[in-house]
Structure 1
Amino acid sequence: MIPGPTPVPEKVLHALCKHPIGHRSKEFQTLIESTTKNLKWLHQTQNDVLTITGSGTAAMEAGIINTLSKGDKVICGENGKFGERWVKVAQEFGLEVIKIESEWGTPLNPEEFKKVLEEDKHKEIKAVILTHSETSTGVINDLETISSYIREHNTALSIVDCVTSLGACNVPTDEWQLDIVASGSQKGYMIPPGLSFIAMSEKAWEAAEKSNLPKFYLNLKAYRKSLLSNSNPYTPAVNLVFALDEALKMMRDEGLENIFRRHNKHKLAISNAIKTLNLKLFADEKYLSPSITAINTGEIDAEEFRKIIKNKFDILLAGGQDHLKGKIFRIGHLGYINDRDIMTIISAISKVLLDLGKISAQEAGAALVMASKYLDSK
């Protein structure tokens, strides 16, 4: 139960086992036609959604290098490990970065974005780069409000890391007029790592005509051109596309609202059960990600706690990153996760705390009752 790779449904595993077919064949073109249609549905967009063989970082880098030019001024939101990464990527390509920061575990303040954008009278800021669901801390940022301020600026593009939010909560790309939305296959898509996806608005394509940053494999114009014939400019991960097709069909069968409701229910079940166990949430309850919950273990070494959970119950939890290592552990509840999984991890955590003498049997039972309350909600 980590935030990725996430569990893979049996149907999707079977799809992976198919014999590869030629990626220039009519059969593969039919497959791409199907996945493209369903990717647009998932992104809630009428615009292009491109598939790249690479991780979510590849999609984010592609969004940056295809729409910006050396020396461009950009805002980067940084309140966790992945916000930090986009600052590094932007700086690597010679962009002038204005950082808007928030302490790890707290959300980015939309009003700070508004202030910087409003002060940009000469429209020098060309993009705002941020993470929607910050996987390293379990915080979700207010993308809807921040994107509204970007739209008011009228020049800057929004380049958004939706790697652990897409397929877990509402990301209405067209309604919020998001320009570039990046995601990865091993998260809400319920398939193994290896594919990334990037939704591009018309405004983003207009910016691509002026971009002078170097690109070859990640040149999105080539992907857009090949998509016109339901193809790919380079050899794709064919079997991952088989898996993607099956996973997207499963998601359509469940329906967007049901997917979002399930993730929210699991978030509430875990966060409220954790409080019953006398542990603290790392992030404020108002800003919890629907995909991952970070837990502050206090005097308990989080790495040692994770080891016990793994050895006793064969459940893998994620650890803290950088300065948070040993201080927090993270429970992934993203993608192919059901109510039984939630009850199992709460039971495992309760048993370990009970064995360590940190809680009573009554508190362990109360945590399961609390989780059940939210799992049984409509």
Structure 2
Amino acid sequence: MLPDQQFLRIPGPTPIPPSVQRAMNQPMIGHRDQETKELLHSISPKLKSVFGTNQNVLMLAGSGTAGLEAAVLNAVHPGDDVLVIVTGAFGDRFAQICTEHDIATHRYDVEWGEAVNPGSIEEYLKKHPHIKAVFATLCETSTGVLNPVKELARLIRQHSDTLFIVDGVSGVGGADVKMDEWGIDVLITGSQKAMMLPPGLTFAAVSERAWKVMEANTRPSFYFDLTKYRDQLENDATPFTPALSLLYGLKHVTELIEQEGLQEVFSRHRQMMNMIRAAFKAHDIPLLTSDEAASPTVTAMKPDDFDPDTLRKVLKNEFKLTVAGGQKHLKGHIFRIGHMGYCSQADILQTISMIEVGLRTIGKPVELGKGISAAQETILTGGS
């Protein structure tokens, strides 16, 4: 085992392209100098296509959770009624943020591993017309569920003026999302997932109708006042010191996405999802989510005849392969594989091979190569 070799297959942080790492090694510049203005000017329009919006995409120094809290602080007042759709740990985080800021938080809990039924949310809003905002998660990282955000947005629009605010942290850049076309009011993501960067940047795009609500919000906020970021970005600037090295990397990330083609990026992520799912089905290892609810960026397995944490330990010790465990009540019951960003079909074949050896090592009698063969078939057929 080579000491510097690491195989990172968790749903964030994700591996960084070497060319992006090199881009981030450029000398530091003044954050108010012309070079920074030019950097922001080159990045801003390229982010719009990734978000599926004509709005400027705001860039804040902070983790994805910073973006979630900024959305809450700007879009709703203390005492407002909001609905938070909770399909896992990160839907729960949205609810916690709302509660911390004295917002009247209605939770709609869905069994972990399942996607929300849009019709149930439609009925809930009919019964609670005073709801000011609905919060949802595009990809629930803790379970590998991709929620039907497009359909949710459509139903919310049909029946109310409620704002629709979406956590896209482990989805944007790996899953196709069309913020403007679908009717999403606020869409947030972070740098360390499908955007192929280290942690430290959060991104937020805001609709025109949401800006009107935010401009009328008198809640005091300094760093998280999104109108400051909007106004400064119009002048190719940020209100506070930006994460300059990450911006250099981001510029190169947008170029890589352009070179591959956005639809090809989404297709690659779906292909990796199909490979993972086919491999574990071949070994009769249960998947946490259905095919219909599966995310293209992370897949969760819920084995019934071996300890997932024992497998994770063996993979780490033997191969330096890191896969994620479960969160909260799923801790010790599932393991998760991240397949987003700087990750390809070749990486997934390698990952499956190591996992098969790991399974044999812990005593599960799998047929070596069976999962790889199933994954290879999905490449050749272009399907699942």
Once residues 366 and 352 of structure 1 are traced to their aligned partners in structure 2, the CA distance between those partners, rounded to angstroms, is: 14
Matching of residue 257 in structure 1 with residue 280 in structure 2:
no
Once residues 156 and 359 of structure 1 are traced to their aligned partners in structure 2, the CA distance between those partners, rounded to angstroms, is: 52
With normalisation by structure 1, the TM-score equals 0.97
* Counterpart position of 1:22: 30
Matching of residue 127 in structure 1 with residue 121 in structure 2:
no
Once residues 155 and 216 of structure 1 are traced to their aligned partners in structure 2, the CA distance between those partners, rounded to angstroms, is: 27
Gaps of 5+ in 2: 1-8
Once the 2 structures are TM-superposed, how far is the Cα of residue 209 of structure 1 from its aligned partner?
2.0
Gaps of 5+ in 1: none
Which of 226, 229, 234 lines up with 2:240 in the alignment?
A: 234
Once residues 215 and 36 of structure 2 are traced to their aligned partners in structure 1, the CA distance between those partners, rounded to angstroms, is: 30
Once residues 17 and 239 of structure 2 are traced to their aligned partners in structure 1, the CA distance between those partners, rounded to angstroms, is: 29
Matching of residue 159 in structure 1 with residue 165 in structure 2:
yes
Q: Secondary structure at the match of 1:59?
A: helix
Once the 2 structures are TM-superposed, how far is the Cα of residue 337 of structure 1 from its aligned partner?
0.3
With normalisation by structure 2, the TM-score equals 0.95
* Counterpart position of 1:371: 375
Which of 165, 176, 201 lines up with 1:195 in the alignment?
A: 201
Q: How does 1:141-180 map to 2 (within 5 A)?
A: 141-180=147-186
Q: Deviations over 1:269-328 (max 9, x none)?
A: 001101112211011221111111101122312111101001111110001111111111
Mean CA deviation greater in 318-327 or 128-137 = 318-327
Q: Deviations over 1:4-40 (max 9, x none)?
A: 1101001100011111111111111111011101111
* Counterpart position of 2:44: 36
Once residues 24 and 30 of structure 1 are traced to their aligned partners in structure 2, the CA distance between those partners, rounded to angstroms, is: 11
* Counterpart position of 2:96: 88
* Counterpart position of 2:17: 9
Given that 2:311 and 2:362 are in contact with CA atoms closer than 8 Å, whether structure 1 keeps it comes out as: no
Mean CA deviation greater in 205-214 or 270-279 = 205-214
Which of 87, 108, 119 lines up with 1:111 in the alignment?
A: 119
Once the 2 structures are TM-superposed, how far is the Cα of residue 375 of structure 1 from its aligned partner?
2.4
Once the 2 structures are TM-superposed, how far is the Cα of residue 210 of structure 1 from its aligned partner?
2.2
Once the 2 structures are TM-superposed, how far is the Cα of residue 355 of structure 1 from its aligned partner?
2.9
Once residues 153 and 183 of structure 2 are traced to their aligned partners in structure 1, the CA distance between those partners, rounded to angstroms, is: 8
Once residues 152 and 192 of structure 1 are traced to their aligned partners in structure 2, the CA distance between those partners, rounded to angstroms, is: 39
* Counterpart position of 1:272: 278
Once residues 28 and 212 of structure 1 are traced to their aligned partners in structure 2, the CA distance between those partners, rounded to angstroms, is: 31
Q: Deviations over 1:61-113 (max 9, x none)?
A: 11111121111111100110001111111111111111111111111121111
Matching of residue 321 in structure 1 with residue 327 in structure 2:
yes
Once the 2 structures are TM-superposed, how far is the Cα of residue 253 of structure 1 from its aligned partner?
1.1
Aligned letter for 1:188?
A
Matching of residue 208 in structure 1 with residue 214 in structure 2:
yes
Given that 1:318 and 1:330 are in contact with CA atoms closer than 8 Å, whether structure 2 keeps it comes out as: yes
Matching of residue 182 in structure 1 with residue 165 in structure 2:
no
Aligned letter for 2:309?
E
Once residues 46 and 318 of structure 1 are traced to their aligned partners in structure 2, the CA distance between those partners, rounded to angstroms, is: 35
Q: Which runs of 4+ in 1 moved over 3 A?
A: none
Once residues 311 and 219 of structure 2 are traced to their aligned partners in structure 1, the CA distance between those partners, rounded to angstroms, is: 45
**What percent identity do the matched residue pairs reach?**
39
